[in-house]
A and B are shown apart, each in its own frame.
Chain A
């Protein structure tokens, strides 16, 4: 056992598969208790930590939580609010009172239209899964340039690396601005060559993010990175 594992064996499980007896253990995310047996509900790796058995899903939808920094896309505009596609099961709502501009009633379209991309933060998620976003805060803004790529939610931590080390490596190697949204959208802004390389690196995390060879593959890719001042 490693990485905080204790008790349960680290193994790949599919929905419906028995992980083990409940036997006083708590059931965490990705699992349910059925007839004194812990059953996996998702495809993923079993994890036992602090007497709680859970399944780390290989794929999952983004579930918004208060405080998340996300890259959102305007899906609908009303007189006094915007509905945002947050890459999850629910749309986010950005009221004009939480926009960074002073917006008159009926003038929301003058500031942002359908398809515009913004960097926002999740202000609130209530029990009915209503998601309220805010653009009031340092660095929160409309993203007028750059490109957005999607990565699986569970690969975000790996893309960030410990203490943001991996994403900083990508920023340095590509000489681009890179912002990772918690909702699986990554904003990349740099010159054409840097952006192309960064996209390649992000694609690598999608293809190999769950493999042990990921670190070596990323290092190899870094050898071909556009160096600062080359362009």
Chain B
């Protein structure tokens, strides 16, 4: 029993509360081009999480003081809708959304070829419509598909995925109960083609062996999600022959 209180997170048969195996991911569905007004957009459903990302630009960066002479700036706004959780969230920016916006922007900056658009801005809006743990990872995945849909040049499609520890067991893709009452959470942004890591955060403690196992789960899940991302982008333009 880990975390806070006497919450049992693993069943006696070794499965998790929602019936998944410890290295099993929640179902993922991705659709590209869901918002006609945006230059690129995507909707990602990951378990009970629903995230919509919209990309606008590249455009002239305003105010001019934010311009970088040698590259574009990526302006990310992550927001959870007031109705995304069972307890209504007060609308607007808060400390958590600022932090997630910042780490998401830094993760995306490492894959987008920002030097192609000096002095400009790429605006990425991530709206979480329904939340069930792991929204920052779902937001990053949605943003990556939306950026590709917008034709922004990138080195790879970044995938957001998380593992963690519950009841001294490393598990893949924490759900809400596991996130709230588990012992550790390890969200990462992975570039599946090169195996590079664009962002990594850790909440809680993991031993080196547990960390390695969690990363192994993350890489495995990232490869699966990457396939779904590619499939979503190809599906959007199927039938086209240029």
Contact = CB atoms under 8 A, between A and B. Distances in A.
Interface in A52-101: 56-61, 75, 85, 88-91
B177 to A, nearest CB: 34
Contact of A61 (B149, B151, B155): B151
A134 to B, nearest CB: 20
Contacts of A106: none
Contacts of B208: none
A59 B242 contact: no
Given A91-B60, A128-B118, A15 B240 contact: no
B83 interface: no
A39 B155 contact: yes
Interface string A1-28: 0000000001010111110000000000
A18 B153 contact: no
B151 A60 contact: yes
B106 interface: no
User: Chain A: interface residue count, which band?
Assistant: 20 to 34
A89 B60 contact: yes
B219 to A, nearest CB: 15
B157 A16 contact: yes
A89 B59 CA distance: 4
Contact of B148 (A10, A14, A32): A14
A93 to B, nearest CB: 11
B151 A43 contact: yes
Nearest to A152: B151
A41 interface: yes
B188 to A, nearest CB: 17
Contacts of A16: 154-157, 191-194
B201 interface: no
9 contacts: A16-B155, A39-B156, A42-B151, A58-B240, A60-B151, A89-B72, A128-B118, A212-B239, A212-B241
Interface of B: 39-40, 57-60, 69, 72, 111, 113, 117-120, 148-157, 191-194, 229-230, 233-234, 237, 239-242
